[in-house]
Amino acid sequence: MTEDLITFIGRFHPVWVHLPIGFLMIGVLLKSYVVLLKKQNLQEAVNFTLFLGAVSALIAALLGFLLSQNGGYEGNLLDIHLAAGWLTVALSGIAWWVNKNEEKYSKKLNYSLLGLLMITLTVTGHFGGSLTHGEDYLTAYAPFGEKQEESKGRILASVEEAEVFTDVIQPVLKSKCQSCHRSGKSKGELDMSSYESLLKGGENGPVILAANAEKSELIRRVTLPSDHEDFMPAEGKKPLTEEEIQLITWWIEKGNADPKVLLTESDAEFIEWAKPKLTIQGAENMVAIQIDTAQIQGLEKMGFRVRVLSHETGALDVVLPEEAANGNASELLKALLQIKDQIFWLTLAGTGIQDSDLSLVSQFSNLQRLRIENNPITDDGIAGLKGLSKLEILNLNGTKISSAALGSLGEIKSLKSLYLWNTAVKPEDKGVEDMALTEVKVVFGG
């Protein structure tokens, strides 16, 4: 509980830290204005601004120290950032005192302190940015030096040269995982920026176990329900697509987590999926699926919330809020048919949809996650979902289904998690036991 409280308070550091930056910079600029234009009447404003800067810098440093206790930051960068931060606090306090009593001190000392304060403030901010965004965040998009494509691997002469890890998986990890797990910011002591560091694992041990994807922590984390506290990527970041998860699973299980296994050794469906993502010299690469923004904006005007899960596949997460449904869920659901193949996650919780509406939902052939809890849905309606061959997560909490519906649900071979809290289904029902045998996680908790 104490650790959670420290983390909670510490997370105000990124919000608060901009205050001392602003106050101190304004204080120095005001001082320059006073000196250059001889506006001595503004001297008190300089004193007050530097005082606010010193106090807010102290608070920012304390919050930063609390945040650092949470771990997940590379030691050297963190040490430099902390040292520079506390030096900034000290210099801001001294600069305020010297400026307030400038008649007792030389102008050279006063100006030198303010100049040094700006330098330490810049250094502190730079290393803070490095901790958050990576050591190359300042130069990554500079118009000089060597640049690398963010989502591409090496330049290849042909598909036959492509390695599963280096050319397909590593770019995925870079774009979706390395904001938190890289050199300079390794949450949970896990660095995913290279094969060697990935193999090493984190504070709780290895995250990939060669030839055993089921027991690999990496696979467990990315396949949890998105609202689970251990789900990764965390904090609302773009999740891995089903194709990405399947390829990583294949690489661990069948490819034995070998960094040199070739893409051509994998399944044909993986090869076809990965081809457009490779950088092949002289080849015409496929472009990402175009997402019709006007179409999405039209749905949003109707009350839907639409989020892009993957620009590569065009996958969408669509939510119909209860208040937006307003007794008109059936008609609104029909409006989604125009993009049904792009909807991978769908939430219709508490919208009043009926059994008959599930026949429409069954047309969303790429659906992987479906939330239809707190609706008057019965066993008859559930039968309409049997054709969803890619459905992995289904939330039926608060519906009117009974154990009789489990037979239909058992026909969805892709199903991994089923939520049945506040229904007539009981944990001791035979259908629940049968699902457990097929490794479907049945959840009855709230």
The string of pLDDT tens digits covering residues 48-71 is: 999 999 999 999 999 988 887 765
Q: How far is it, in rounded angstroms, from Cα 36 to Cα 27?
A: 14
What does the pLDDT read at residue 287?
Answer: 41
Q: What is the mean pLDDT of residues 324-351?
A: 89
The string of pLDDT tens digits covering residues 226-242 is: 888 888 887 656 789 99
Report the DSSP beta bridge partners of residue 419. 395, 443
Amino acid at 359: S
Q: Lowest mean pLDDT of 253-262, 264-273, 305-314, 331-340, name the range.
A: 305-314
Q: How far is it, in rounded angstroms, from Cα 81 to Cα 160?
A: 45
Phi, psi dihedrals of residue 139, rounded to the nearest 5°:
-110, -5
The string of pLDDT tens digits covering residues 67-88 is: 877 655 555 677 888 899 999 9
Upper half-sphere CA count for residue 287 (Cβ side, 13 Å) = 3
Q: Is residue 347 within 8 Å of residue 316, measured between CB atoms?
A: no
Neighbouring C-beta atoms of residue 232, cutoff 10 Å: 24
What does the pLDDT read at residue 98?
Answer: 92
The string of pLDDT tens digits covering residues 131-151 is: 666 555 565 545 544 444 444
Q: What is the mean pLDDT of residues 314-328?
A: 87
Residue 238 token pair: 């773009």
> Strands 305-310, 279-280: parallel, antiparallel or unpaired by DSSP?
unpaired
Q: How far is it, in rounded angstroms, from Cα 257 to Cα 252?
A: 4
The string of pLDDT tens digits covering residues 389-403 is: 889 889 999 999 998
**CATH number of the structural domain 293-443:** 3.80.10.10
Q: How far is it, in rounded angstroms, from Cα 250 to Cα 309?
A: 22
**Which residue in 322, 344, 323, 325 sits closest to 334, CA to CA?**
325
Q: What is the mean pLDDT of residues 377-383?
A: 91
**Which residue in 52, 51, 46, 53 sits closest to 31, CA to CA?**
46
Q: How far is it, in rounded angstroms, from Cα 168 to Cα 171?
A: 6
What does the pLDDT read at residue 327?
Answer: 83
Residue 22 token pair: 């602003």
Sequence ranges of the domains in the chain: 2-133, 155-280, 293-443
What does the pLDDT read at residue 22?
Answer: 92
The string of pLDDT tens digits covering residues 267-288 is: 878 888 888 888 776 544 444 4
Judge if the upstream peptide bond of residue 233 is cis by omega within 30 degrees of 0.
yes
Q: Is residue 381 within 8 Å of residue 405, measured between CB atoms?
A: no
What does the pLDDT read at residue 235?
Answer: 62
Burial 113-124 (b: 16+ CB within 10 A, else e): bbeebbebbebb
What does the pLDDT read at residue 204?
Answer: 83
Q: What is the mean pLDDT of residues 323-342?
A: 88
Strands (E), 47-116: none
